[in-house]
Every structure is written in C-alpha cells, then in structure tokens.
Chain A
Amino acid sequence: MTALLEVRGVDAGYGDVQVLFGVSLQVREGEIVTLLGSNGAGKTTTLRCICGLISPRKGEVLFHGESLAAVAPDHRAGLGIALVPEGRELWPQLTVRENLELGAYHRRARRSLSKNLDRVQALFPRLLERKSQLAGSLSGGEQQMCAIARALMSDPKLLLLDEPSLGLAPIVVDQMFEAVRQLHREGMTLLLVEQNLVAALEIATRGYVVETGRVRLEGEAAALRSDPGIRAAYLGI
C-alpha cells in the first residue's frame, strides 16, 4: 500500500544553513504520526518542505505516490495538504468568520464552504460565539482552535499540526488533544509535531524521533513510549 505522504531522503535548509539531512518518513491513510525532537531538530522545517514553503535541496516529497516537486505551494492546499503553523499565524485584523472563509480559498473547498463551516463550528463551538470578533483579540487557546479550524476549512486529506499545545494552559492543551483525537476518529490523517512527548505518543499510531536534522528512531507509538533511550533522553525518567 502506498503511503498518503512520503518524505524521501530530504535535505533542506535556509541560506547557508542546512537543517535536514536525508530525512525520510511516511504517513499512511488514517494514521496519526508524530514527529518528536527537541528545539531546532528540524521538525518545523520538515513540515515547511511538505507544504512547499521551502524546497528540498535533495530528495523529494510524495503525496498519493506522486512527487510534489512541480506543485507550487499555493496549489498544495487544493491537493489536500493543510498546515497549522507554529504560532497560529492567523490574520489578526480579520474576523474569525473571515479567517475561516479564507481558509477555504481553493476551488474544491469553496464549493463545500457551508458544510465545512458547520463541521468546524461543531468541533469548536467557541468559534461560533466568537465569529464576529477579530482573530487577534482571541485568547491563545481560541486562536489555536481558529488556526486548526481554518486549516480544516480547506477540506484536507492530511493535516499537519506544528506544536498545537505550545504556550497554552494545561486544560486547553487537553482540549486540543481531544480535538485531534476526534478528528482522527472521523478518519483524518494527521502528522503532529510536538514537544509534549507523553501526550503525543499517547494519541499517535507511530512516531519518528528527529535529532539535528536526522531521523534517529522510528516505530509504533507504544514501542517508543517504552523505549529506555527515549525515556531517559526526553522524558527524564
């Protein structure tokens, strides 16, 4: 079975600085795969390669078995790839409603705009209450919900989440992971970047551990959870 997403031997970086060294990973349909690692390991860069915000210097990214090399970044949403970037990156002076509408910009998503709007507002009822408010005036947790909802408005087949729990209160973090679980139950495929290893490995199917731009370990989430090396290095146990 071909993977929904395959990253194959990717080198990438910014200017003179190389960040990724031959990173390979796969995400199969219906999985939650988590990408773990410390700050600066290359997790965000991997996601940016998948979305086309930066181009790999070597290797390639395949979606449905086909190379994305020739697909412009603004066409990838149309294929079904959506990223919730680190730090939410909302349009702060547009209303919540406008943020969601523009999330559905490409043609396929625009056709099912009202259906998707109902769907994300059912997932995050808070956004319905806040729909006429400027996105920049929301609390951190609400902004994160809005960012996930905006990505969902593009009707993705693969949702990339970059540190959705970053900077949020513990109770909001729980809500966020519950939403991820809910999406997974509805059949969404997710690639989740997290520093919160325990929570990530609890909901993930499989995981990859990245260190200084290389994949160090990969395996079933359960196996990674009990791996003594990981426990020592990342969980401090």
Chain B
Amino acid sequence: MIEHLLDLTVSAFLLAGLYATMAYGLGLIYGVLRVVNLNHGGMIMAGAYAAWWAHDQFGLDPYLSIPIILVLAFLVGVLTYAGLVRRLPRGAAGGVQSLLLLFGVWLILRNAAYLVFSGNDQTVLTSYSTKALPFLGAQISVNRLAVFGVALVTLGALHLFLTRTYVGKAIRAVAQNPESCTLAGVPVQRIYMLTFGLGTALASLAGALATGLYAFNPGFGATELLKSFVVVVLGGLGSVAGTAVAALILALVENFSILVIPSYLTSAVGFVLLVLVLVLRPGGLFGQRVLG
C-alpha cells in the first residue's frame, strides 16, 4: 500500500510537468492579450502529430524534433496573431469574436488532421518506450522522467526570460498596462505577436511531449485544453511558480482519485476541482496577480 501511494505521488509530480507546460502557454496569452486561445487544443494536437510524423517518416526521436517543432509552432502563432487575431475590430480581441475565431481555427486544424492522418489512434514507439528505472522501490518510466525534465527546463527558461531580459519585462509590462508601454516606446503590437507565438509554441511542445505518454488522434487536445483551464484558474496568470503548484495539485488529485473512483472518471476530477475553485476562490489560489 505504501509503495502504491509512493508510486502515485511520484507519477503525479512527473505528470505535473506536462500539465504546467500545457497550461502556461494558455495563461501567458490570456494574461498579456486578454484573449482565450481556443486553438490551444489544436496546437497540442498538431505538436503530437508533428513529433509522430517526424518519427514515422525519418525515424527522428521525438525529443530531438522538439526544437524544430517549437520554431514552426512559434511561426504558426505569429501568423495566427498577425493574420487573424490582430484583424479583429478594435476592442473585440478579448471578446466573443476571438473565441469564435480561434475555435474555428481549431476545427479547421482538427478536420485537416482527420483528412490527412485518419481518425486512427497513433502512438510513438521508441527503443526506450517501455524502459523504467527503479526509484525508492517504485518503477519510473524513462519517458515520464524525460517529459518532466524537458518541462522543468522549459519553465525555468521562461521564468528567466520573463524576469531577467528586457523584452521579457516588456511582456509583463504590456500585461499590466499596455498604454503606458506605448508611451514608453514599447511596440505593443510586436509584443502581442511575440507572446502569441510563445504561447502557441508551448502548446505544441506539450503535444510533442504527450506522445511519449499517450496514444492520440485528431481529437486529442480537447481534454488537455480543459485541464489547462483548470491549471490557469487555479494558479493564476503567468506566474511560473503558481502554474507549477496548480499543475501539481491537479495531477495529485487526479492520480489519487483512482483510489476512490473508477479510473474512467479521473478526467472529470479536474472539472470538479475547477468548479470548486470558481465557487470558493474565484481569484485563484494566489490572488489576481498578472505576470507579477
């Protein structure tokens, strides 16, 4: 029993890395642009297929294709912003128009994937897919460990970028008061574009990482988007630490719920958590800070 609990705890920590990566992109875009990127799910799915395709066609290891996927997804995000989101009428960027627009983009991506890859489940099998390492009596899959490592490095780098670099500070300033940024000479539109690119790249990274853990089809990303919402609402906007803690809470609650409810209900646990947070602490666990 003790071993089982330890197993669940370790696996929750590892899973939290993926959840945090997934949610951070959504929170970043919302925090800076006040736009809910409903295409987040679409880009998670696209990231998974990109990693799978590179492996399937060229035998490229999914972890090695990540840099290319990040660059491509960043460009997709930049184009989505410059070509679509930016063209919304003034004041509509944060409204229902942007929800519809980005939901539309997601539908197009998803149906394109059905067309090209069919609706069959895909998996990425590598030589180490089934390898595990012993840890305090528990067995940890190499893939889970690698996913966690990549997530940790990514979030650490993001934190340093946002707090130490000039552009990173400008991104936080735009989130807090865009007009003051314009007055100081910060090109706010360029910051929006950059942020949208970053958030999109993070979504695709989460997708690529997920191929090590799950089978997926073109519908992949919907549950992940909803889990991202849970983490963002729980952890607040843009704080790396808040996101990490919230991701850990979600993963722990999900993992431990299998002790008391059937496993097919675990995905629902996140939404119960979401409702509870919205009712009890609507500002999130850490208050209303935006990219503080």
Binding site for B on A (CB under 8 A): 51, 53, 73-78, 82-83, 85, 89-94, 98, 101-106, 109, 134, 150-151, 153-154
Contacts and interface: CB of A to CB of B under 8 A. Distances in A.
B282 interface: no
16 contacts: A53-B182, A73-B183, A76-B185, A77-B184, A77-B185, A83-B183, A89-B180, A91-B173, A91-B180, A93-B172, A93-B292, A94-B172, A102-B169, A102-B184, A105-B181, A154-B184
Interface in B169-221: 169-170, 172-173, 176-177, 179-188
A103 B289 contact: no
A153 B183 CA distance: 12
Interface in B150-181: 166, 169-170, 172-173, 176-177, 179-181
Interface string B268-292: 0000000000000000000001111
Nearest to B238: A93
B185 A105 contact: yes
Contact of A74 (B176, B188, B289): B188
Given A73-B182, A101-B166, A91 B187 contact: no
A150 to B, nearest CB: 7
Which one of B173, B176, B184, B291 has the greatest number of beta carbons of chain A within 10 Å? B184
Interface in B234-292: 289-292
Contacts of A134: 292
Interface in B115-165: none
Among all A-B residue pairs, the 4 with the closest Cβ atoms: A106-B185, A77-B185, A93-B292, A91-B176
B267 to A, nearest CB: 34
A173 to B, nearest CB: 23
Nearest to A99: B173
Contact of B176 (A53, A93, A154): A93
A51 B172 contact: no
